[in-house]
Structure 1
Amino acid sequence: MTATGRRRSSLLYAGLALLVTASTTGCSRLVDAQARFFAASHYNRAVEAYIQHRHAAAQRELRKSLRFDPSHPEANLLLAQLYLRDEKYAEASECLRRARKHVAEDSPDVLFTLADLYDRAGKYAEAEATYRKAYRGNPTNPVAQNNLGYFLANRDRKLDEALELIRSAVKSRPHDGSFVDSLGWVQYRRGSLDEASKLLSRAKELDPDTAEIHYHLGIVYRDLNRADDARTEFLHAFDRDPDFQLARDELRKLGEDPRNPHGKRNETTTEPR
């Protein structure tokens, strides 16, 4: 879970300032400023779509943004995150390469995205080292705390450290559903199922549209032998992200057909002759 999609961009206002300045300094600068303005406008639309979990729309807006300004670092980073989500690792790497040309190597967003790329590629040692680098550079940053803690919890290692990190993040941002989800997940990994259930239910209230939160809660219900509740949460996860393979797998284990998860039947009607 990264911060990229939760940060509003100020680039739209920067684009307006560039446009005003350029109008007094020549046509070529005006064209450049207009391109940056439109790039920023599409980027801001992409951020709104991302926050609303409309990932396909976000990708379209980001590609439009990059047509106007291929060097736009935040657009490249957010598009890299979306490509990672879709397991398009080559495309994600290219976006990250472009972004790194224009931002500092120790930029938190660059490090978060690079760590995520390592993680998804199965390079866990490199991923942990990169998350730790981001945390060392920003030890009071709740996103850095959450990302490192969640990575450790997901790998089922150093759970005491993970718990401490995520608790600090939640203390800073108690109404962030993704952080509360991380706290619930590390409690699950520690075997505290009842506490995990409470926290993940709270995370679902805070962020009801994130598939991963429903999936995590479903896993906890499964291990609490609450099969019907688990099925409901896996269905919610599937509804929000039909490509969520882990949710599909759990539905199959419960006897659900992921292609027809709600048991809908295609009924045909016979017209009277």
Structure 2
Amino acid sequence: MKRSLVFALLLSFVLADTSFALSEGKLSSLYGSYLKGFAYFNNGEYEKSLKEFGQASSIDPVSTHIRIKLAFVLMRLGKFGEAEKEFEHVKSMDPDNLEASLGLIFIYSYLGKEDKLESEYGYFLQRAHKLRPEDTRISEYLAQFYFYRKRLDDAIRIYKTIVKDHPDYIEAKYLLGYFYEEKGMRREAIRIWKEVLDKNPSHVEALNALGYLYAEEGINLGEAESMVKKALKQDPGNGAYLDSLGWVYFKKNDYKNAERYLKKAIEGAEDPVIYEHLGDVCVKLNNVKEAVKYYNEGLKLDPKNEALKEKVDKYGRQDKASEEESKPDKKVNN
């Protein structure tokens, strides 16, 4: 009696979505097929498992649990197209079924279906966030996905909630500042990063980010230099930090030091922004030929960069004109 009770409880749990309108005979067949399918799957006998789960699904086609088991067996057999259809069917019956969404993510990743993978990943994160809004990790994944999709308002909205609920979560606050800066909301970014540094004066990313932003704005340049140098003490070879310091010196009209640090930066991190900064310094040092070289190097890394294209065109023509002017006059001998 005790054994049969445990058996009944187990089946009622794993087949919780099974229709109770089934007759006793069909219910018995359903349980039998499910357990056989499960046993065959664990033994690696996937064809037999497929047959049993298929039989169980035909008895009760509304069971999402059985359809998911069936889909995973199909994946084991390399029948990804059929597995995809099963997972999609489950989603149509139960949009919040994260197991079905994960199955589709695996299939699209395995088959290299990048567009579908990206779409399903977003769907999964949105549903997971809806079901578990208190789970900070899921919230962050979703916000970063929105950032990747250039949905900055959504990313900011989620991180504002995280920071509100977890005011001591410094990394979340730093990233909120980063998203503000990407959005062009520099005053908000400055405010947030100052709060980060108030909590943790040695936060290396915030030191660099705020120092660089001050340089971009042409404000607080002494403080900016101090901040970036503090970041470099923690990570002396970091190309991004060296670039920041070089750019601070550029804004202070100290072009020799700017060139010195930007050349160090390019050794540690090939980046179109650093090449553009180097080109700008060379222009100030009246070395237009070298500037064009650096702008072209930046374009190789970012061929669609319009600012670099304009600078290559402008200073390339200027360089050619200088070369023409420097050529000796040709004298005609009679």
Give the letter for the 1:96 counterpart: I
Inter-partner Cα distance in structure 2 for 1:243 and 1:110: 32
Inter-partner Cα distance in structure 1 for 2:247 and 2:104: 40
Partner residue in 1 for 2:121: 65
Deviations 1:143-176 (A, max 9, x none): 1111111110111111000000000001101121
Partner residue in 2 for 1:223: 284
- Provide closer, same or farther for how the CA distance between residues 99 and 157 of structure 1 changes in structure 2, counting only shifts above 3 A: closer
Partner residue in 2 for 1:138: 200
Partner residue in 1 for 2:253: 191
* 8 Å Cα contact 1:217/1:230 also seen in 2: yes
Alignment of 1:1-273 (within 5 A): 32=98, 64-70=120-126, 71=129, 72-82=138-148, 88=150, 91-102=151-162, 104=166, 107-119=169-181, 122-208=184-270, 210-255=271-316
* 8 Å Cα contact 1:66/1:75 also seen in 2: no
Offset at residue 236 of structure 1 (A): 1.6
Inter-partner Cα distance in structure 2 for 1:187 and 1:216: 11
| Percent identity (aligned) | 23
Larger radius of gyration: 2
Count of aligned pairs: 209
Partner residue in 1 for 2:323: none
Inter-partner Cα distance in structure 2 for 1:233 and 1:192: 19
* 8 Å Cα contact 1:143/1:169 also seen in 2: yes
* 8 Å Cα contact 1:175/1:206 also seen in 2: yes
- Provide closer, same or farther for how the CA distance between residues 235 and 134 of structure 1 changes in structure 2, counting only shifts above 3 A: same
Partner residue in 2 for 1:262: none
Highest RCO, 1 vs 2 (Cα 8 Å, sep ≥ 6):
1
- Provide closer, same or farther for how the CA distance between residues 191 and 77 of structure 1 changes in structure 2, counting only shifts above 3 A: farther
- Provide closer, same or farther for how the CA distance between residues 225 and 138 of structure 1 changes in structure 2, counting only shifts above 3 A: same
Inter-partner Cα distance in structure 2 for 1:202 and 1:252: 26
Higher helix share: 2
Secondary structure class of the residue paired with 1:140: coil
Inter-partner Cα distance in structure 2 for 1:246 and 1:105: 39
Q: In angstroms, what is the RMSD of aligned CA positions?
A: 3.5
Deviates more, 1:62-71 or 1:129-138: 62-71
Secondary structure class of the residue paired with 1:69: helix
- Provide closer, same or farther for how the CA distance between residues 118 and 101 of structure 1 changes in structure 2, counting only shifts above 3 A: closer
Inter-partner Cα distance in structure 1 for 2:168 and 2:304: 33
- Provide closer, same or farther for how the CA distance between residues 113 and 61 of structure 1 changes in structure 2, counting only shifts above 3 A: farther
Secondary structure class of the residue paired with 2:219: coil
Inter-partner Cα distance in structure 1 for 2:118 and 2:171: 17
Inter-partner Cα distance in structure 1 for 2:201 and 2:116: 34
Deviations 1:84-113 (A, max 9, x none): xxxx5xx21113323444563564454444
TM-score under structure 2 normalisation? 0.53
Give the letter for the 1:69 counterpart: L
Inter-partner Cα distance in structure 1 for 2:105 and 2:235: 31
Deviations 1:49-86 (A, max 9, x none): xxxxxxxx8x9976553332233334344445545xxx
- Provide closer, same or farther for how the CA distance between residues 145 and 62 of structure 1 changes in structure 2, counting only shifts above 3 A: farther
- Provide closer, same or farther for how the CA distance between residues 76 and 237 of structure 1 changes in structure 2, counting only shifts above 3 A: farther
